[in-house]
Structure 1
């Protein structure tokens, strides 16, 4: 597995939060994309999401979904959607998690080991950059570096 160290920047990002079963995370992600299209915009990049607050008894977790869009928008504060002109992390590690059937926790451990070897601390939870490649889903896991040790 190849790990890269790089920044990540997205422009004109619309976000939303949802709580759902971990095997149904794609439903609110699709709803975000559909809401964007219904409002005359289009996505200019991949869906990025973060997972936290996992409850094993219900198999549910909290998600934050982000999608860069075609232009800046004026959006009033509301409980459903948010907007930032630029979403950026200056430094982090990225690892491709190519097979969604593989345990993603193993990829997290590889990133943590890389951080330890480089004497840096990671900011968790990590970000998942969902890429649709020939109809198959691939996830790049982005682990922001919190600070040099």
Structure 2
């Protein structure tokens, strides 16, 4: 584990409440948006998840697609355009896909943070990297007192 930052510019953002076990559904929706908007992906797809306060099996997923240039989005569109996302300091778990699931990886990060007396945000980000045709997932959990996400 290490402390690192994360920044992406020009993003299509799509939000969806869903069962955590169905996290991939939003990726398919994002792929369809990409095709319909005629934009070009220029970075790894990633998503954040925040636990539902009433049901631990559900999360609010926010999917991010870095694109080549800014776009204008209709007000009634099911997605938004964001100029930038920036996390100044996050505890980073490389290759989190080796864990049983995202919750297990997040719990591992939380245990490490407790041991090191580090306060974390309740939201975590999964960055999906395509490395020679294999998907590797890095988990970023912003530090709570410095969770400067903009």
TM-score by length of 2: 0.79
Question: Where does residue 10 of structure 1 map in the other structure?
Answer: 8
What is the deviation of 1:70? Answer: 0.6
Question: Where does residue 72 of structure 2 map in the other structure?
Answer: 74
**Any stretches of 5+ residues in structure 1 without a counterpart?**
none
TM-score by length of 1: 0.80
Question: Where does residue 85 of structure 2 map in the other structure?
Answer: 87
Query: Does the C-alpha gap of structure 1 residues 66 and 19 become closer, same or farther in structure 2, counting only changes over 3 Å?
Result: same
In the alignment, the residues of structure 2 paired with residue 9 and residue 125 of structure 1 have an alpha-carbon distance, to the nearest angstrom, of 16
Question: Where does residue 31 of structure 1 map in the other structure?
Answer: 29
**Any stretches of 5+ residues in structure 2 without a counterpart?**
none
Residues 13, 79 of structure 2: 8 Å contact kept: yes
**Cα RMSD over matched residues?**
2.4
Structure with more strand by fraction: 1
Question: Where does residue 98 of structure 1 map in the other structure?
Answer: 97
What is the deviation of 1:49? Answer: 1.1
Residues 93, 144 of structure 1: 8 Å contact kept: yes
In the alignment, the residues of structure 2 paired with residue 105 and residue 25 of structure 1 have an alpha-carbon distance, to the nearest angstrom, of 12
In the alignment, the residues of structure 1 paired with residue 102 and residue 131 of structure 2 have an alpha-carbon distance, to the nearest angstrom, of 18
Residues 119, 143 of structure 2: 8 Å contact kept: yes
1:99-142 superposed Cα distances (whole Å, 9 cap, x missing partner)? 36x14333223322332344331111211112233444322110
